Amino acid sequence: MTISEALLSEFEMEMANTRRTLERVPADKADYRPHEKSMPLGKLATHVTELAGFGLTVLTTPELDFATGTYKPMGFESAAQLLKALDELAAKVRAVLANTTDDAWQQNWKLSFQGKTIFEGNRFLAYRAMFLNHLVHHRAQLGVYLRLNGIPVPGTYGPSADEPFAG
């Protein structure tokens, strides 16, 4: 089994969990934030959505310097908009992930801002830490926002208080 084959099933599971969370994001709560230092719900939801595509950057480039990119964050409109974007981004990552060679996983990958290194390591670690774990982290935050707004939180790795069985 290749590294990519092993990671593909995990990717599919995390995209399904992310999809179940994003489909519950209420459009009328976009400005909600549980604390003054917290990101607004709409911004957090779009960040989670866009992180799904960050794997593409990790898999197809040797580095990213945030200061030199042309990234423009997507605005929040609705859960349907988030799901459409998630599906499109995930499809792109899935296609590249399936064809990433074991040798490519060992290549160096670097994340920086204005030349200052934020992360540097092999592509495998970048994929897991900077992409997948980062996505899961923010998706969990989004789950807290849902809970605080009385919106049922989906089960992800098993039951939640709102769903006795994940599915």
* CATH number of this structure's domain 3-148, picked from the four choices 1.20.120.450, 1.10.3720.10, 3.40.50.150, 1.10.260.40: 1.20.120.450
What distances in angstroms separate CA 87 from CA 23, 64, 84, one per listed residue? 12, 23, 5
pLDDT tens digits along 5-25: 999 999 999 999 999 999 999
| pLDDT for position 166 | 55
pLDDT tens digits along 142-162: 999 999 999 999 999 999 999
Helical packing angle, 41-60 and 79-98, nearest 10°:
20
| pLDDT for position 165 | 72
Q: How many residues in the chain?
A: 167
Pairing of β 108-113 and β 63-65:
parallel
Amino acid at 55: G
| pLDDT for position 167 | 52
What distance in Å separates the CA atoms of residue 139 and residue 14, rounded to the nearest whole number? 10
- b vs e for 5-26, b when ≥16 Cβ sit within 10 Å of the residue's Cβ? eebeeebeebbebbbbbbebbb
Give the pLDDT means over successive 10-residue stretches in the chain (167 positions): 96 97 98 97 98 94 89 92 98 98 98 94 97 97 97 94 76
Within its chain, how far is the Cα of 133 from the centroid? 8
Q: What pTM, to 2 d.p., does this model score?
A: 0.93
Handedness of CA 34, 35, 41, 42 (dihedral sign): positive
Residue 137 phi/psi, 5° resolution? Answer: -55, -50
What distance in Å separates the CA atoms of residue 71 and residue 78, rounded to the nearest whole number? 21
Among 73, 62, 74, CA closest to 112: 62
Domain edges within the chain: 3-148
